[in-house]
Amino acid sequence: MRGELVRVSVSSQPSTSSQGSGQDDYDTLGYVFMWGEGIGNGFLGGGMHKLGSVSSAKLDALFPKAVGSSVVLDAQQIACGNKHAALVTRQGEIFSWGEESGGWLGHGINTDAPYPKLIEALTNCTIEFVACGEYHTCAVTQSGDVYSWGDGAHKFGLLGHGKDISHWTPKRISSSLDGIRISSVSCGPWHTVLVSNQGQLFTFGDGTFGVLGHGDRKSICTPKEIESLKGLKAVRAACGVWHTAAVVEVMVGYSSSSNFFSGKLFTWGDGDKGRLGHEDKNERLVPTCVSALIDYNFKQIACGHSLTVGLTTSGHVYTIGSTVYGQLGEPRADGKSPVRVEGKLWDAVVEEIACGSHHVAVLTSKSEVYTWGKGANGRLGHGDMEDKSSPALVEALKDRQVKSIACGSSFTAAICLHKWGAGSEQPLCASCRQPFSFTRKRHKCYNCGIVICHACSSKKAYRALMAPNPNKLYRVCDSCYPKISQLVGQSGSVSKTAKKSWQETSHERSDRSRTEAKLTTFSSQALLGQVEVDNHLRHGKKLDSSARVAPASANSLTWGPTGITLSYEAANEFMHHVSAWQSKRVSPKRGSRSVSPFSRRVSPPRSTTPTPTIKGLVSPRIIVDDLKKTNEALSQEVLKLRTQVPCLWNRLLLYIE
């Protein structure tokens, strides 16, 4: 539309959605929701599995999932890499989480983080912006300083410090940036671009295909300003894998009182797949204006692997590049020229765009999130893994106030606002519409945030989206409960089987503690454990759940935590020694009952009157001597039994086969 041609210069500050802006921002908290690869049981989603370690069905999340945290996070901006993510809070703190490799989390240790963890090295700085690459992370402070950290050992100057070494904690980039305030940063897999508050563009990293924009293909290990754009003002910039794009203000008119500027789209680097938007597919070594889009006023840009996405000031989205996976968002696109994304966006005003390797997400003025492109790993958030060639609404977020979005290589994130304290202002239950009273108490649904009465929120569930701890039960409304139950059942996060297993484990631990307390007089307790040996073993019957013994075969059994396999003849011989030892025990105190260390059943009560012998009662010294002899005999028996292990183990394997 040519009406976009003339416009007053847009701001150079990082754009954010207008959703939740103004005074209302101070009454809300920003919650992070993520979906796609690694968000299920992977480290990005609070799990403990690395990508590729288990099936993708367990690792991935097909629907938006709330990011858990040990503290309440008021997220204002989020960035996503390949296997990690980072966010900035309202207080200017920065947190990162995901898989660790080469230091890209910035915590100084080679440990994965399943939940957002504060980067302590930057606690003295107020962070305003963060960006994640595939191997590194960058952050911009309120004062305009830039810090970078991650795997810098690729010999491309990836971190901008002048040396090809990794940094496990943030380090300030000082070379060539002294006195220059940086406002935003974008990270690609192999290079980085910085935008100053004066509109200067700086790049560093791998220079293959001329992706740095300096007129050659040389790699640069410290930030260098792009000379060809001097005199112009860059507003935004984005890094693809082997191409770069920027929105640059160009003067399009003037009057006696002011000048008029319009944001034009410049691209450079690898021109394959038409990702640069020029008439040919040749590489560009310096920033070149996309002539096919010269009539439009752009304000934001995003890049994928073979894709460039631009957002105009009127809220329209244009895509450039390969048609693979339907990533251009227009089924009729041929990939030869830029195309406007319409479909369900034809009458929408888009306020923010984000791009993964092969998928796109946009946020509209109505706080709706649409996605399209490659659907593998559930990165589109529609509950399936199907590719989408046109925008599709993320239904799971349609009732939420989405403030901002971001894309990783194969996952997506959104910051949703939740207004705290709003429940006290609501006079009616959001479900039954009955007024709250002394007997009809207010409750908040920890999944959707609505305020309901007790009768409409009688159930509690794990994994509620707004729950401070996803592994604890929190009250949810009756409409959310079946949805959560279905999702939890599919993911197996808190299944009944798991819960039963946990309860059985707890009982086992409790029983083991009680039994071990009764075995403190035995030096051989490490071998014996708390087992019950009786005639059930001969018939292969299942023991009490607290026992640590199960029949290994028809002729042998595995005993205790040592994993020793015994024959029944050896077990009987061992029990003979135990019986001999029991016969030498001192009589119990009055009114007490003796308990066998090998069975939890209570023995019959003995006589409450000590039985005298010819020499009187047994002295303590004799008891000690007898115990020593018994212990020595037991030790010898243990050694004897251990010598049988290899032979019996082979017999067991033959029996199983």
The separation between CA 337 and the C-alpha centre of its own chain, rounded to angstroms, equals 37
User: What is the C-alpha separation between 372 and 331, in angstroms, rounded?
Assistant: 11
**Which pTM value belongs to this model?**
0.66
User: What is the C-alpha separation between 1 and 400, in angstroms, rounded?
Assistant: 32
What is the pLDDT at residue 468? 66
Instruction: Give residue for tokens 């002899």.
Output: 629
Q: Which residues contact 334 (CB under 8 A, 6 or more apart)?
A: 323
Q: In the chain, how many H helices and how many E strands?
A: 7, 35
Strands, sheet with 84-89, edge to edge from the N-terminal-most edge strand = 75-80, 84-89, 94-98, 113-118
| Alpha helices (runs of H) in 454-600, residue ranges in sequence order | 480-491, 496-518, 525-528, 568-583
User: What is the C-alpha separation between 403 and 72, in angstroms, rounded?
Assistant: 17
Helix (H, G, I), strand (E, B) or coil at 196: strand
What is the pLDDT at residue 160? 94
Tokens of 430: 């959001």
User: What is the C-alpha separation between 426 and 450, in angstroms, rounded?
Assistant: 10
Beta bridge pairs of residue 245 = 238, 267
Helix (H) or strand (E) holding 281: none
The separation between CA 449 and the C-alpha centre of its own chain, rounded to angstroms, equals 22
Residue 383, amino acid: G
CA distances (Å), origin 643, targets 310, 352, 565: 74, 71, 10
What is the pLDDT at residue 558? 40
CA distances (Å), origin 345, targets 310, 330, 351, 528, 606: 14, 11, 12, 71, 86
CA distances (Å), origin 647, targets 33, 224, 651: 56, 72, 6
User: What is the C-alpha separation between 39 and 60, in angstroms, rounded?
Assistant: 5
- Here the contacts of 120-123 (C-beta below 8 Å, separation 24 or greater) are 121/169, 121/170, 122/93, 122/94, 122/147, 122/170, 123/93
User: What is the C-alpha separation between 264 and 249, in angstroms, rounded?
Assistant: 6
Q: Which residues contact 394 (CB under 8 A, 6 or more apart)?
A: 64, 368, 369, 370, 371, 380, 381, 382
**Taking the alpha carbons of 599, 604, 608, 614 in that order, is the dihedral positive or negative?**
negative
What is the pLDDT at residue 226? 98
User: What is the C-alpha separation between 535 and 623, in angstroms, rounded?
Assistant: 31
**Taking the alpha carbons of 281, 285, 288, 293 in that order, is the dihedral positive or negative?**
positive
Could you tell me how many residues make up the chain?
657
Tokens of 581: 């030892």
Ranges under pLDDT 50 in the chain? 1-3, 5-24, 26, 421-423, 490-571, 574, 577-578, 581-620
Short-list 55, 43, 84, 61, CA closest to 381:
61
User: What is the C-alpha separation between 523 and 203, in angstroms, rounded?
Assistant: 69
Asked if the domains 2-419 and 422-494 are classified in one and the same CATH topology, the answer is: no
Q: Which fold has domain 2-419?
A: Methylamine Dehydrogenase; Chain H (2.130.10)
CA distances (Å), origin 405, targets 75, 84, 368, 413, 580: 12, 16, 11, 6, 74
Task: Return the biggest CA–CA distance within the chain.
Answer: 127
CA distances (Å), origin 48, targets 407, 468, 641: 22, 19, 39
Can you give the residue ranges of every domain in the chain? 2-419, 422-494, 520-588+612-656
Tokens of 45: 């989603």
Q: Which residues contact 71 (CB under 8 A, 6 or more apart)?
A: none
User: What is the C-alpha separation between 443 and 446, in angstroms, rounded?
Assistant: 9
Q: Contact 206/158 with Cβ under 8 angstroms?
A: yes
Q: Which residues contact 424 (CB under 8 A, 6 or more apart)?
A: 442
Residue 194 CB-half CA count within 13 A: 31
What superfamily in CATH does domain 422-494 come from? Answer: Zinc/RING finger domain, C3HC4 (zinc finger) (3.30.40.10)
Helix (H) or strand (E) holding 130: strand 127-132
